[in-house]
Each structure stands twice: as C-alpha cells, then as structure tokens.
Amino acid sequence: MHMRKYPFSILLICLLQVLTAKAEDGYRLWLRYDKISNPTLLNHYQKMMQHLWVDGNSPILQSAQKELTMGLGGLLGKPMNQVNSIQNNTVIVGSVESSKFIANLQLSEMPRLGKEGYLIVSLTIEGKPCLVVAAKTDVGALYGSFKLLQELQTHQYFGKMVMVNNPAMQLRMLDHWDNLNRTVERGYAGFSIFKWHLLPGYIDQRYIDYARANASIGINGTVVNNVNANSLMLSKDYLIKVAALANVFRKYGIKTYLSVKFSSPIELGKLKTADPLDPAVIAWWKQKADEVYKYIPDFGGFVVKANSEGQPGPQNYQRSHADGANMLGDALAPHGGIVIWRAFVYSNETPIDRTKQAYLEFKPFDGQFKPNVIVQVKNGPLDFQPREPFHPLFGGMPKTPLMMEFQLTQEYLGHATHLVYEAPLMTEVLDADTYANGAGSTVAKVVNGSLGKFDLNGMAGVANIGDDRNWTGHPFAQANWYAYGRLAWNPSQNTDRIAEDWIKMSWSTDSQFVAKTKQMMMDSRKVLVQYMTPLGLHHIMGDGHHYGPSPWSDRLGRADWNPVYYHRADSAGIGFERSSKGSNALEQYAPEIRKIYEDPKTCPEQYLLWFHHVAWNFKMKSGKTLWEELCYNYYAGVEAVRQTQKIWAAQKSLVDEERFEQVRQLLLVQEQEAIWWRNACLLYFGTFSKMPLPVGYEQPDHDLKYYQSLRFPFAPGNGGSN
C-alpha cells in the first residue's frame, strides 16, 4: 500500500540521501568545500573560474591540482573542466621552476616573491581573462592554491585581484609529542595518528589529510615523535617507517624531523658513552645522519631535549649545551640538516627560582652555536602556563637564532575540554617588546630573524591532534592548530580575522553565527585565566597529570615541581617575589621592562603575582583589595563561561546538530570545572588571607577537604611508556 503512495525509486533516493549525507563530524577541518550558499557570489565565481590548468606534473603540483579540483568543484558545485592550454576564464597554476608558460609571463610582481611566496593575479592573456596563481617554486604555487580556496570559502568577493604573499618565517613546524606505542604525551584527542606498526606498508588516508591541512596554513615541517624520545626511532626499522611518512608529507611541501635521544649512541650503538667530544660518538652520529638521509633525502633535522626532566645530555659528561648541539650540527651539516636544541631545561639542583634557569644556562653560550643550530625557547620562562610574561631569552641572546615554541595541546588550559582560542595568547607574546635593540624589538622580530639578521628562524607548535574523528577532541581546538599556522606564516596577522576565517571555513558563513562565535572565541583565553590563574598566579594545577586545581600540593620530590613553591601564599600575602627584593628574575629583562615591573604599583596587574609577593589588602587599580580582586576574577571567569553557554545555545538553529551538541556538552563540563577551580583556589587561599568571600557571591558547595581529597589516577595525557 505504501509502495503505491511512495514509488520505490523515491524511497531509494531518500535512503541514499540519508546514507550519503555528510555527517558534520569535524573530520574535514577547515577544508570542507561545501557549495557556496550565496547565489550572487556563486554565479560570479562560476563565471570567473570555468577551467583549471595546473601547468606541471611534479608531486607538489599534483597535490595542488587534486586540491583545486576537489575544492573548486565542491565550492562551485560543478566538476572543474581540466585543460592544458589557456581558455577563457581559466584558473592557471604554476611556478617559474616548472612552467615555461608562467616563466614567460614575466610577471612584474615575481621579484617580490621569496622561495615559498605566491602571487594571485587576474590577467587577460591572449585576449582571455584568467586568474593566475604563480610562484617561483611549486610549493609556493601550492600555498597560493590553498589561499585561492580560502578566498572562496570565506566568501571574499573579488573582481580584479593582485595578491602577493610571503611567509615571515622559514621554519613553521608542528611538533608531535607522540610515542611509539601511540600514546601521546599531553594529548587529549585520542591516540597518535601515526600507526607505526602498520608502516611502511599501510598509508592511512589521515596522513594525507593531515598534510593537506598543514599545507593549507603554511606549515612546512613536522616532528613526528615526542621530545622525550625513544632511541629506537633512529633504528633502521623505524627510519624506514619514517621515510614512508616523509614520502607523503613531501608532496605537500612538508619536511620531516625527528626528536632524538642524546644517549642513542649507547642504546643503539652499544658505545660506552654519549660524550659529544668523544671521537667514537662523533663518528656514530655522523654515520647515523648519513643513514637517515639515505632513507629521507630531504630530512629536516633533529630536535633535542637534553638535560631536562631526566633526559640525558652533554652535561652528563661535563660538556655544555653548545658542545652537544654543535656536534649534532656537524653531523647534519653535509646534508643541509639543522639541529633544533630546546632551551626548556632546568638544572638538577633545585634553584632559587626555576624561571631563571634557562636564561642562566644558555646566555653564556650566546654566539657559540654552529650556523645550522637554532635554539627553541618556550613562550614563557616557566612552562606553557595560561599566562606568562615572555621568556627573557628572547632579546637575551642576540647572537643566536631563537625559535618560538608554543603549546597548542591544552596541557595547562583545560585539556581538550575547555573552549580556549589560543591566538591571543600567542600574539600577546609575539607583540611583546623585548627592547633588545631599542623600543619596537618585539619577540616576533626575534623569532622571524629580522632583529639578528638570521636566515634560520621560525616557530614550533606542540600539536593538539590525535586519532579522534575530529582530530582535536574539542571542535574548537581545531582553531588553535589553524591559528598557529596562520601566525607562523605572518605573526602580525589580526587574531580576530583569523578566528573569523576559521569559523567561516569550519562552520558557517552566516553573519550572525560568525559574529557571535567570534565573540566567544576572542574572550575565551582571558576567561580561562580568570578562573584558573588570575593576576599572575601560575603552576597551581594537579600533580603529574596537571588536571584541575591543586594549589596545596607540596609533596613532589623537587620543591619547584610543587604549586606551593610558586604561589607562596602566607598570612602576609601571595605571589612570587621576582623583583630585586626577591629572586631578581627581573634582572634578565631589559631596563625599560624592569623599571615598570619592579614596583607592584606599576607592574601590569596581569603579572602582579608572577613578579611580586603582595599583601592581601594591597590596593588594586579597581580600588578593590587584592583578596577582593582575586575573588572577583574567579567569579567573573565562571560567569563568563555561563555567558558563553548562552551565546552558544542561541546559535542552535544556525549549526549542525552533531557539533552543536558536542560543544554544548563540553561547555557544561567547562562550567563545572571552572567552578571547581574557583572554589578550590579561593577556599585554599582564604586559609591564608583569613578573609571571607565578598558578600553576594554564591558559596562553594563543598569544603576545602573535599577538593583536596579528589584523585584522578587515569586523567589523560600522562603518556606512559614510550
């Protein structure tokens, strides 16, 4: 009976539609390429881009061709007509390196392009209007292709176009803290995407999509294993696996790097020592480098964490960081490889102030590193806290190329549960003035090499991705991967604009949705700081797993692993005195900074308790006492999360159900965890201030003992054995 009402063919079509409807599970990231919804714009682009001609056949140009075919086809709602000569309304893509046609155009903007830059220009050639994506190299043409797609995805209307774009930095790296057993140190989005046991035979589609996503934002290097490295990574078996990955990444302009363990000559080479000045050790590394390049001819280089948190290093043999880094530099130099030597070190003896350690250890070696060594410095002097002042090594080592290291994975920022857009954290540091060479010597100018005139320069981001279907756990955490790439390409880009592009590409171009979502994102990091570590507090999280608040912790082996070491709350006040009255960490900064930060009255309040031990009744700029201001911040942070929930709830009809629901639920957890941070911290600090919560504030629903009794033995991200 029903069959008569609904013919079989219609039922079949409906069924097929249900089966083929693309679930918005987040897998496609910001490369969704759905048909442009605005009819005028669609029509305009359809006319302008009727044919596609990618002139050249290199693997990288093939990637560009595939991406444009898929991307333009999807966005314009019709398959692209592939041609190999000029027609009316053709998108022409190519490079001087591999296209005679492009070279012969003698484009006047070409001299302004660097190696990886690109040009997008509307031209009329032989009387035929066309859009040319040109570059000196194939990889430039690939970047230009992604940029063209971005213009369409974000609904930019352009008639005539001339765009010249060059990356500001040479190394734009994504660093994985992935172990060989596929756990991810500080990873909150599942297991590692790298399936070592199936390599080299099985190439997961995810590797290709990973490379596409990276190339689309200009990332040109990946470190595939944890800085707490396993020496097995340098064994022949694993090098063959790494080579298989490198073969995929190369097609997208991405070089592969490895974290190496300094004691590998002992563990793999069966030598008695890893002393960097020992001839056998030198020979072992040289031979190892030769072997690596045999498998991966364009290998990027080694990343090294040495003499830090139990990792071996040159200091085990009374040698310096420079001795260790230079020895590896010499091994890689004949092949054009580099050494990225991390400055995240702190000595084995508990220091007066851990934030001073890296500077004290590295500054004496300024100018003593080989030309193919770059020192990688975390954004702040402690350890990826929700807010830190910039690391004093930036500006402090003028004769050494320094790289920035940001942490995209949210180890200290609510794991993958809290909605935090990290771009404002990044630009806060990049825009900070080091005064190293007078006013305007920003951190960005240190890391892009312009201040020290270094060709070797760049940024690294510790990846926040895993094998969760949507890559990053929280749907909004994708924005941190995206924004990081955009900022590594151009650190002076507006974070608001980056958020807007990401929202349009990843969610929707609806103007109300974009505006409201952007508002949620732009405030989110400030809000997190308010309910976790306001006014310069730091390192008061749970032991080991770093989940949740634990300001009372005082039992770890080293004093400087314990929260009490950092907040120093007592009956007189709270905060770490780092002025000349205390550890004098401030002396590591330029006089212009010292002058302002030395006095708690002029020190920016966001760093007040980072640099000063301040009395509970200290008068803040708002007129409140310190205690009141602390309470105010913790409460305001929780309220802001509730506000975010409301904004999100109002977006329901503008967004797909699957991701709407994910974010809605995560915001509920975030609210609970923000309340937990607020209550635990204020109850605990109140035992020192002896002051009550200001009237009118909602009261904690548990006492301090309850919060102190909470245990999370299986909180994620702790890694396990590698």
Task: State phi, psi for 431 to the nearest 5 degrees.
Answer: -85, -10
Q: Which amino acid is at 662?
A: Q
| DSSP-assigned letters across all residues of 543-588 | TTT--SB-TT---SSSGGGSHHHHH---SSEES---STTTT-GGGG
Active site residue 185: no
Residue 481 CA from chain centroid, whole number = 5
Token digits of residue 28: 């496609």
CB of 24 or CB of 422, closer to ligand BDP: 422
Task: State phi, psi for 315 to the nearest 5 degrees.
Answer: -65, -20
Q: What residue ranges bind ligand BDP (CB under 6 A)?
A: 185-186, 227-228, 305, 309, 344, 383-384, 411
How many residues in the chain?
722
Beta strands in 203-343 (DSSP E): 221-223, 255-260, 301-304, 338-342
CB of 192 or CB of 508, closer to ligand BDP: 192
List the Cα angle 636/642/648 in 5-degree steps.
135
Pick the closest to residue 483 from 522, 511, 450 (CA basis): 522
468 contacts: CB under 8 Å, gap ≥ 6:
189, 190
User: What is the smallest separation between the CB atom of 228 and ligand BDP, expressed in angstroms?
Assistant: 5
Buried residues in 28-46 as b, exposed as e (16+ CB within 10 A): bbbbbbeebeeeebbeebb
CB of 199 or CB of 404, closer to ligand BDP: 404
User: What is the smallest separation between the CB atom of 411 and ligand BDP, expressed in angstroms?
Assistant: 6
Task: State phi, psi for 198 to the nearest 5 degrees.
Answer: -95, -10
Active site residue 383: yes
User: What is the smallest separation between the CB atom of 175 and ligand BDP, expressed in angstroms?
Assistant: 9
d(CA 148, CA 595): 47
User: What is the smallest separation between the CB atom of 107 and ligand BDP, expressed in angstroms?
Assistant: 44
Residue, CB closest to ligand BDP: 383
CB of 547 or CB of 634, closer to ligand BDP: 547
CB of 315 or CB of 644, closer to ligand BDP: 315
**Catalytic choice (116, 178, 361, 383):** 383
User: What is the smallest separation between the CB atom of 100 and ligand BDP, expressed in angstroms?
Assistant: 48
User: What is the smallest separation between the CB atom of 407 and ligand BDP, expressed in angstroms?
Assistant: 7
2 contacts: CB under 8 Å, gap ≥ 6:
none
User: What is the smallest separation between the CB atom of 308 and ligand BDP, expressed in angstroms?
Assistant: 6
**Catalytic choice (55, 138, 175, 411):** 411
CB of 51 or CB of 545, closer to ligand BDP: 545
**Computed over its alpha carbons, how large is the radius of gyration of the chain?**
27
Active site residue 411: yes
Q: Which residue bears the tokens 């041609």? A: 83
Contact 413, 464 (CB under 8 A): no
**Catalytic choice (290, 309, 599, 661):** 309
Going across the sheet that includes 90-95, the strands are 81-82, 51-54, 90-95, 128-135, 118-125, 162-165
CB of 311 or CB of 670, closer to ligand BDP: 311
User: What is the smallest separation between the CB atom of 186 and ligand BDP, expressed in angstroms?
Assistant: 5
| Omega cis (within 30) before 200 | yes
Token digits of residue 70: 């898929």
337 contacts: CB under 8 Å, gap ≥ 6:
289, 293, 299, 300, 301, 302, 372
CB of 393 or CB of 630, closer to ligand BDP: 393
The residues carrying an active-site annotation are 309, 383, 411
